[in-house]
A and B are shown apart, each in its own frame.
Chain A
Amino acid sequence: MSQYYHSIRFDAAKCDGRMKCLRVCPTQAIRVRGGKARMIEERCIDCGECINACPKGAIVPLTDPFGELTRFRHTVAIPSPALYTQFGREILPDKILAGLKKLGFDDAFDLASTCGEVSFAIQEYLREYKGPRPLISNACPTVVRLLQVKYPDLVDLILPINTPREIAAKDIKQKKSKQFGLAEKEIGAFYITPCPVKMISIKQPAEKGKSHLDGALSISNIYGPLRSAMESVERESYRKALESICILGIGWAMVGGMSRTLRLRSSLAVSGLPEIIRVFDDIARGKLRDIDFIEAYSCGQGCCGGSLTVENVYSSHNKILKLIEALEFEKIKACPDIREVRRLYAENYFSLERKIEPRPLTPLDPDLSQAIRKRKEKAEIYESLPKIDCGACGSPDCLTFAEDVVMDQARFEECVLIRIKHYESQRNR
């Protein structure tokens, strides 16, 4: 039984060892040994880059099958606002929520309204906050895991406000259990997710503890059925739901959408892991300390660019902007009641239920002097390598290979260029 739950599985039967995944992994968590890719569990932050890179479809995101619904007496779909961006401009959220219901959920809930509330809650928190800056959004579970694994010292900067999906699930269950006289565990709350990493945040929340969500269905899996279901939806039937949709909350589906709603002196919005890593590196070296808030999404353009979405990332992004326009045109500008939010905030309604702890990588050796010795050895081995990062050895780059050799995870002779040199010298003898 492994220590970490991951939402990514490598299908050895499909993998032909082409190493595309090896190169895109931002945390060097993949090795190809014996022609098959495998994952180093403690390094993986579930960003899903490898899923997109694999030409063979051998890397599979684990989300829940639809059949999970039958485990519950009452089921609610809670779609990421990113779902709203997946259809043509004429299809508004009300229709999508209705379609979800047709698919077999007992109810579908608009998360954008909760997003709006959480935006206000964040603003409340930032107003009182006096500690080190910048605070970093916890909306993207990959970003949280990246901080835990690679920047353990920055974990304290993670915003301790719970995510809208968790707050919504908790609230829905409480209300529904009263309404229908059911136990909370008889109500199933399912997130409709644009990325696999949300699955892990449900199965194994970064802050430990237990998620209020019961599972996640991928947008790409339900896309086809949902399209058909929507064809027979009567528009008027969901008009009421539409009226409560929060324009500000819909913005959470794209990078920068959250910051737009917060009135801050200074904030940054960043997406894509390489860019995020650059920003975090700067924070780690003492820079950017005058920024109040950082919104970071591992997927380019934010959640609308998730690996389980269907639509082109840029048109999705555009669609959010258009959707906001369209709702404004329909004169729907629902907004959470700020006084109500303040009241709930004072009751810790929005607080993260537990503290997020760092999860630093295992050092080269538990004993510091041994670790230093091994680091030295790594440097020496690296020096003797060709330094072209070809990846043919099955490690992502020469430096990582040197570490694998030191840690007995690879053999020096697995370096192809070293081997060629060998044979040449043998032949010349």
Chain B
Amino acid sequence: MKVKEIVDKFDFKVLTAPDRLDVEVSGGYASDLLSDVMANSRPGNIWITLQTHQNIIAVAKLRSLAAIVLVNNRTPDAETLKSAEAEHVPLLSTGDPAFKISGKLYVRLGLKD
């Protein structure tokens, strides 16, 4: 399943890089510890977090993640948005908490972690 389809299905807000949604998603990864994401996520993962620090963009880039989903309607600051646009990382946002959106993605998409 592609990021675009997930965005449509779950009604995510696309905050940045709307032109980079045609990417296949390999699975989901939920964590708020960026060190953990750096160590354990896999390329193509869609990353569920509430961290909005601009480092998330670098981590996503570094690990070739497909997209970042910010939970609980968290809004990132200008720096993070700028960096995401510059690095072409899709930043998405949802009103759901991490547990719920992880659950929904896991159930609906059968995404492997």
- Residues of A near any B CB (own CB < 8 A): 380, 383-384, 418, 421, 424-425, 428-429
Contact = CB atoms under 8 A, between A and B. Distances in A.
A421 B107 contact: yes
Contacts of B110: 421, 424-425
Contacts of B100: 380
B112 A384 contact: no
Interface residues of B, number: 7
A428 B113 CA distance: 10
Contacts of B20: none
A418 B110 CA distance: 10
16 contacts: A380-B100, A380-B104, A383-B104, A383-B108, A384-B104, A384-B107, A384-B108, A418-B107, A421-B107, A421-B110, A424-B110, A425-B106, A425-B110, A425-B112, A428-B112, A429-B112
Given A380-B104, A383-B108, A425-B110, 13 more contacts: A380-B100, A383-B104, A384-B104, A384-B107, A384-B108, A418-B107, A421-B107, A421-B110, A424-B110, A425-B106, A425-B112, A428-B112, A429-B112
Interface string B95-110: 0000010001011101
Interface in B76-113: 100, 104, 106-108, 110, 112
Contacts of A384: 104, 107-108
B101 to A, nearest CB: 11
A424 B104 CA distance: 16
Contacts of B107: 384, 418, 421
Nearest to A421: B110
B67 to A, nearest CB: 20
A65 to B, nearest CB: 52
Contacts of A421: 107, 110
Contacts of A383: 104, 108
A421 B107 CA distance: 8
8 nearest A-B pairs in the assembled complex, by CB-CB distance: A384-B107, A421-B110, A384-B108, A384-B104, A428-B112, A425-B110, A425-B112, A418-B107
Nearest to B110: A421
A384 B110 CA distance: 11
Nearest to B103: A384
Contacts of A425: 106, 110, 112
Nearest to A428: B112
A386 to B, nearest CB: 10
Nearest to A424: B110
Contacts of A418: 107
Contacts of B112: 425, 428-429
A380 B100 CA distance: 10
Contacts of B108: 383-384
A428 B108 CA distance: 16
B47 to A, nearest CB: 19
B73 to A, nearest CB: 16
Contacts of A380: 100, 104
A48 to B, nearest CB: 38
Nearest to B107: A384
A248 B108 CA distance: 60
Contacts of B106: 425
A205 to B, nearest CB: 48
A373 to B, nearest CB: 14
B28 to A, nearest CB: 11
Most buried by A among B104, B107, B110: B107
A429 B111 CA distance: 11
A425 B27 CA distance: 11
B42 to A, nearest CB: 14
A421 B112 CA distance: 11
B104 to A, nearest CB: 6
A309 B110 CA distance: 51
B27 to A, nearest CB: 10
A384 B104 CA distance: 7
A7 B98 CA distance: 49
Nearest to B100: A380
A93 B45 CA distance: 79
A28 to B, nearest CB: 24
B9 to A, nearest CB: 9
A383 B110 CA distance: 14
A267 B106 CA distance: 54
A77 to B, nearest CB: 60
Interface string B41-52: 000000000000
